[in-house]
Amino acid sequence: MSSAAVSGMLPAWAREVTDLYESGASAQFILHGNVGDSVLIPGAENSLRIGSLDAYIREVLLARFDVVLSYDLGNGIRVERGGDRFAEWPAGKDRTLPSAPREAIHLLTHYLRFCANVARLHPERLTRVAVIVRNAGLIAPPSPGGADYELNAMASQLRDWASDPMISEQHCATFLLAENLNDLHPLVSQNPHTSRILVPLPDTDTLQRVLSHLSGLYPKPLSAFAGQLAIPAAALTGATLHSIETLLQRRQHHGQEMALSDLVVLKKELVEKDAQGLIEFIKPDRTLDDLYGQDAIKAWLRQDIELWRQGDLAALPMGYLFCGPVGTGKTFMVECLAGEADVPVVKMKNFRDKWVGSTESNLEKIFRLLDALGRCIVFVDEADQSLGRRSGDSGDSGVSGRVYGMVAERMSDSRKRGRILWALATSRPDLVEVDLKRPGRVDVKIPIFPTATLEEGYALIRALCKRRGLALDPVMPESMRERIPDLLTPGAAEALSVKAYRLHRTRSLDAQAAVEAALADYQPPVSMDVIQNQIELAVAEATDLSFVPDRFR
């Protein structure tokens, strides 16, 4: 397609497109992933500029094509190059090009066949034609119920662009741009004659080249990193080029430099904005030292973290399952783990949607972001509810089963070992699909329990009160022994310490009196029957009995 491929100037995805087309293996390409972002476009004399992906396709990949057409819902059909050649088509002469999808796709199909017929009858009049369809998911989305004949007809014609030898073998190339494969009609996205090419988020090397180019346009924000642009490039990996350029434009406008300490916060803001609310960064400002008790668990996790730091991945788990009764601090433990490892925690938020294909598209986008972030911990809270069901009888048109399949495939991808560490949390591990909990997806299942003795309960309350300036005796007073709740969770102990602090301030009680008053009318937030049942479930799931206190074995 382009001489740039010879010089090695093309990114990996563009080299793949070029190789497939020039070898005759494929003539239709679905570009999915980071298709709405800006890209670096090479120009004359090694110059660079930042432009859109379809501009890159036109100017670089399709530089030698005679006619380049584009279509999207807003602009209709546009002749991007070769207007004179296009006007030679009798059916297109002096005709207003349609904007409506059905008519537009029909016209483009007829033009591709016209050019193919001319080339077969008169090889000397061969015309290299390319069509770029932007936002293809809006034109040929998944058909609800499969009975939308108008939509199915358009999908069938788009499929013909790749499957009909009359078109695909006559120097015609077609590009369908869609953020997610799940946004497209299955007739199009699952066509074996079509090549699906992922356009990834920019990696660190790409960002360094981009920042080198942008430093000439916006020198002020990057002045602190002169000659060291690899530092902000590595720190901002996972963000889009567009969001980074927007950040630099604003900083340049206000005359603000970027400091090293800004980069973590800026990356969090940029990536969360790009993710459109699908993920959330949890700031890992705690370590395992902040976790009370749980010595056996902390020792195991610290050993894993040390293996991670050393790059010794053979024994590093693909994921953890933290299970235990409500309020035992499963989320807190994940935050402490991330702080100890010094990696970001990405929490998957509610990616489920009511529209056909939207849930799968959201999950596809989340996975794409995770791939670009580098080392991170992916936290899935309420895993029994979030990760779907293997069976197809959930009454949601199969969405739950497809979510399960996508997550299961991603969790077992051994190429991600050491890059993505899954952390699942649930109080009902029995409701998490067995296949998701197997070794190779979740290698270590860690139970977290409430206090097993009255002394542990007192020590937990004492530790939480200390954070609020209430100092209790190291040894539990006899007057308090009968009042300490059995099977006390950190969540319940936190509520007790808050109540004690309130009594200390409103009634001027000393620390011990305030705690005793708080315990006087204590009511467990969760019934003991539920706690006991969830303890039994956690014991049954434990990978190693060293995690389980003697009382619960």
Higher-pLDDT residue of 397 and 505 is: 505
pLDDT digits (tens, 9 = 90+) for 492-503: 999 999 999 999
- Tell me how many degrees the CA angle 81-82-85 measures, rounded to the nearest 5: 160
233 closest CA partner among 211, 201, 200, 253: 211
Name the residue type at position 254.
Answer: H
Q: What are phi and psi of 446, to 5 degrees?
A: -110, 115
* Res 459: pLDDT: 93
Mean pLDDT score across all residues of the chain: 88
User: pLDDT class for 6, splitting at 50, 70, 90?
Assistant: very low
* Res 395: pLDDT: 57
* Res 55: pLDDT: 94
* Res 7: pLDDT: 43
156-160 LR contacts (CB < 8 Å, sep 24+): 156/187, 157/105, 157/106, 157/109, 158/105, 158/133, 158/185, 158/187, 158/188, 159/187, 159/188, 159/191, 159/193, 159/194, 160/109
How many Å is the Cα radius of gyration of the chain? 30
How far, in Å, CA of 105 to CA of 7, rounded?
36
* Res 116: pLDDT: 87
- Tell me how many degrees the CA angle 274-334-378 measures, rounded to the nearest 5: 35
What are the helix and strand counts (H, E) for the chain?
Answer: 22, 14
How far, in Å, CA of 197 to CA of 177, rounded?
10
First to last CA, the chain: 67
- Dihedral of the alpha carbons of 41, 42, 43, 47, in degrees to the nearest 10: 110
Predicted model pTM: 0.78
* Res 145: pLDDT: 62
How far, in Å, CA of 116 to CA of 461, rounded?
80
Residues 52/39, Cβ–Cβ less than 8 Å: yes
Interacting residues of 478 by C-beta distance below 8 A, sequence separation 6+:
none
pLDDT digits (tens, 9 = 90+) for 404-444: 888 888 888 888 888 899 999 999 999 998 888 888 899 99
Q: What are phi and psi of 379, to 5 degrees?
A: -100, 125
What the block records as the tokens of 134 is 């932007």
